[in-house]
Amino acid sequence: MFPPIPNPSTKPATPKFGEQDLMRRSASSVTPPAQRQTEVAKLIDVSKCIGCKACQTACLEWNDLREEIGVNHGVYDNPLDLTPASWTVMRFNEWVNPETNNLEWLIRKDGCMHCEDPGCLKACPAPGAIVQYTNGIVDFVRENCIGCGYCVKGCPFNIPRISKVDAKAYKCSLCSDRVAVGQGPACAKACPTQAIVFGTKEEMKKHADGRIKDLKSRGYKNAGLYDPPGVGGTHVMYVLHHADQPQLYSGLAKNPTISPIVEIWKGLTKYAGLAAIGAFAAIGLLHHVVSGPNRVSSEDEQNAKRLAEGGSR
């Protein structure tokens, strides 16, 4: 058993991290603290997951969210997708393994991956609406969110959702409020099979190694850890039986990166755009200084008068 995080004390505790531990802040520059906090991570072992959705309900409960009661869509997925209230959903895929001809029901808990290089934060135009702590948690700060949805475009995993009610962006916070007082995320707490465990990133990688060995011994030769380098690694990782084909798990991105379009938009365009605007304004000014105004001369007026009065040709 992965040692469970002990129950919290009832005494008030000072948060383990806060404003002073930011390493990125949307639309602002911050000076990261000299000492980075130990990186944390949540490990989701897909091979242990029974798709019970306890994590989904725990998430609703802890974050005091109300998901609407929908309908059946012909699948077990409910809600069918992430919503502003459902920050995590189970995704079910029925796949017949061509090698064994056996059915495999691949169940993946979807939610924010807490990228080391978060695309949402990069895209966000509102100062401080998205922050990244030095322990790796990427959090949305509701008061600062303007609901523009740029985070949706920035995210390589299609995670953030904009509420129709208050027009703010919502996603998993990795229970930053719980982690700050030494607890693990609510989903990990609720998971009956320890398919979700939480700890330092190093511990999680080590735990994953053991799991991968076990899976390999059961014939899953491509078992592996999903910690995609394209986004600098993530603070939510998966153990997959078929790590060579993450897309089998309801479209988990194979090589996720921040979209090059977003990179251009938030990189080159941002600077080149302002430069162009500035250049145009400057050239105008310069032109005016150098060549002076283009004035109508009295001769022109005379010519016009003559023309109007029918004199000139």
Partner 1 sequence: MKTSEIAPGDEVHRGNPVTVDRYTAAARVNHWITATSLVLLALSGLALFHPSLFFLTGLFGGGGLTRMIHPWIGVVLFFAFVGLFLRFWRLNLWKSEDGTWMAKLRDVIAGHDENLPEVGKYNAGQKMVFWLMSILIVILISSGFAIWDQYFSEYTTIDQKRVAVLIHAVAAVVIICVWIVHVYAAIWVRGTISAMTRGQVTGGWAWRHHRKWLRELVTSKR
Partner 2 sequence: MTNSWTDIKNTDLVVIMGGNAAEAHPCGFKWVTEAKANRGAKLVVVDPRYTRSAAVSDMYAPIRQGTDIAFLLGVINYCMQNDKVQWDYVKTFTNAPYLVKEGFTYKDGLFTGYDESKRDYNRSTWDIELGPDGFVVADDTLQNPRCVWNLLKAHVAQYTPDMVSRICGTPKDKFVKVCEMIAETSAKNKTMTSMYALGWTQHSKGSQNIRCMAMLQLILGNIGVRGGGMNALRGHSNIQGLTDIGLMSNLIPGYLTIPTERETSFDTYMSSRGFKPLRPNQMSYWQNYKKFFVSFQKAMWGSAATAENSFAYDYLPKLDVPAYDVLRAFELMHQGKMNGYFCQGFNPLMSFPNKKKLTAGLSKLKFLVTMDPLETETARFWENHGEFNDVDPSKIQTEVIQLPSTCFAEDEGSTTNSGRWLQWHWAGGTPPAEAKADTWIMAQIHLRLKALYQKEGGAFADPILKLDWQYKNAGEPTPEELAKELSGKVLETVTDPSDSTKVLLEKGKQVVNFATLRDDGSTACGCWIYSGCFNPAGNNMARRDNSDPDETGAYSKWAYSWPANRRILYNRASADINGKAWDPSRKLIEWDGAKWAGYDVPDIAPGAKPDVVGPFIMNPEGTARLFTRGMLRDGPFPVHYEPFESPIANPVAPKVRGNPVARVFKGDMEQFGDSKEFPYAATSYRLTEHFHFWTKHVQSNAAMQPEFFVEISEQLAKEKGVKSGGWVRVWSKRGSIKAKAVVTKRIVPLQCDGKTVHIVGIPLHWGFTGAAKKGFGPNMLTPYVGDANIETPEYKAFLVDIEALAGPVA
Interface ranges with partner 1 (CB under 8 A): 27-28, 125-127, 144-150, 152-153, 158, 162, 167, 259, 261-262, 264-265, 269-270, 272-274, 276-277, 280-281, 284, 287-288, 291-305, 307-310
Among residues 13, 16, 50, 221, which is the contact residue for partner 2, using CB under 8 A?
50
* Residue 55 in contact with partner 2, rule: CB under 8 A: no
Say how far apart CA 59 and CA 76 lie, in whole Å: 18
* Structure-block tokens of residue 277: 């605007």
Candidate ranges 74-82, 121-129, 252-260, 285-293; the one touching partner 2 (CB under 8 A): 74-82
Q: How far is the CB of 252 from partner 1 (least distance, A)?
A: 15
Strand order in the sheet with 224-226: 196-200, 40-45, 236-240, 224-226
With CB cut-offs between 5 and 8 Å by kind, which of partner 1, partner 2, none does residue 211 bind?
A: partner 2
Q: Is the CB of 50 or the CB of 277 nearer to partner 2?
A: 50
User: What kind and span of H or E run contains 60?
Assistant: helix 54-62
CB atoms within 10 A of CB 27: 16
Say how far apart CA 118 and CA 136 lie, in whole Å: 10
Say how far apart CA 57 and CA 109 lie, in whole Å: 12
> By the 8 A CB rule, do 46 and 252 touch?
no
Q: Is the CB of 25 or the CB of 109 nearer to partner 2?
A: 109
Residues near partner 2 (CB under 8 A), total = 43
Q: Is the CB of 126 or the CB of 212 nearer to partner 2?
A: 212
Chain mean position to CA 111: 9
Tell me 13's DSSP state: -
With CB cut-offs between 5 and 8 Å by kind, which of partner 2, partner 1, none does residue 143 bind?
A: none
Q: Is the CB of 24 or the CB of 211 nearer to partner 2?
A: 211
> By the 8 A CB rule, do 141 and 128 touch?
yes
Q: Is the CB of 36 or the CB of 270 nearer to partner 1?
A: 270
Q: Is 132 helix (H, G, I), strand (E, B) or coil?
A: strand
Q: How far is the CB of 313 from partner 1 (least distance, A)?
A: 10
* Residue 165 in contact with partner 2, rule: CB under 8 A: no
For residue 136, give the amino acid letter: G
With CB cut-offs between 5 and 8 Å by kind, which of partner 2, partner 1, none does residue 76 bind?
A: partner 2
* Residue 105 in contact with partner 2, rule: CB under 8 A: yes
CB atoms within 10 A of CB 57: 14
> By the 8 A CB rule, do 88 and 59 touch?
yes
* Residue 98 in contact with partner 2, rule: CB under 8 A: no
> By the 8 A CB rule, do 256 and 155 touch?
no
Site residues (vs partner 2, CB under 8 A): 1, 47-54, 56-57, 60-61, 66-76, 78-79, 86, 94, 96, 102-105, 107, 192-195, 210-211, 214, 217-218
